[in-house]
């Protein structure tokens, strides 16, 4: 998918998160994006169980990566606000590639 489609998907996710979670913040979303971007650069994003030494956002991202492409993916992403932030960051860093429906 092209960058414009990815940006539209991110905007849709943010809008949906704001409707579902009153405390969803775009500033925090950017902060999580930076955390996930750094984790990706350091090789911390991988399909692995939660690690107490990692940020809750990195653990959420790893959980999302673990379930990506399975029927557990959407329930995992929508589980809580931490997972929503992590999902938006994963899409924004091109860690998860969107495919045309």
Residue 101, pLDDT score: 46
What's the structural domain count of the chain?
1
Q: What is the CA radius of gyration of the chain?
A: 13
pLDDT digit string (tens) for 4-25?
777 787 788 778 888 888 788 8
The residue segments making up the domain with residue 37 are 3-92
What is the arithmetic mean of pLDDT over 39-48? 91
Yes or no: say if 51 and 26 are a contact pair by the CB < 8 Å rule: no
Mean pLDDT on 47-51: 84
Tell me how crowded residue 86 is: count the other CB atoms within 10 A of its CB: 31
Give the pLDDT confidence of 52-99 residue by residue, as tens digits: 999 999 999 999 999 988 999 888 888 889 999 999 999 889 888 775
Flag whether pLDDT at 100 surpasses 60. Answer: no
**More confident call, 34 vs 47:** 34
**Residue 2 pLDDT:** 63
99 falls within a domain: no
Structural domain contains residue 100: no
């Amino acid at each position: 998918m092209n960058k414009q489609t990815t940006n539209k998907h991110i905007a849709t996710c943010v809008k949906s998160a704001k409707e579902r979670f009153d405390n969803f913040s775009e500033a925090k979303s950017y902060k999580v994006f930076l955390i996930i971007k750094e984790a990706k650069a350091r090789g911390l994003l991988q399909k692995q169980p939660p690690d107490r030494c990692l940020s809750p956002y990195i653990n959420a991202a790893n959980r999302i990566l673990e379930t990506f492409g399975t029927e557990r993916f959407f329930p995992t992403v929508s589980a809580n606000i931490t997972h929503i932030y992590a999902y938006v960051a994963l899409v924004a860093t091109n860690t998860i590639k969107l495919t045309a429906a």
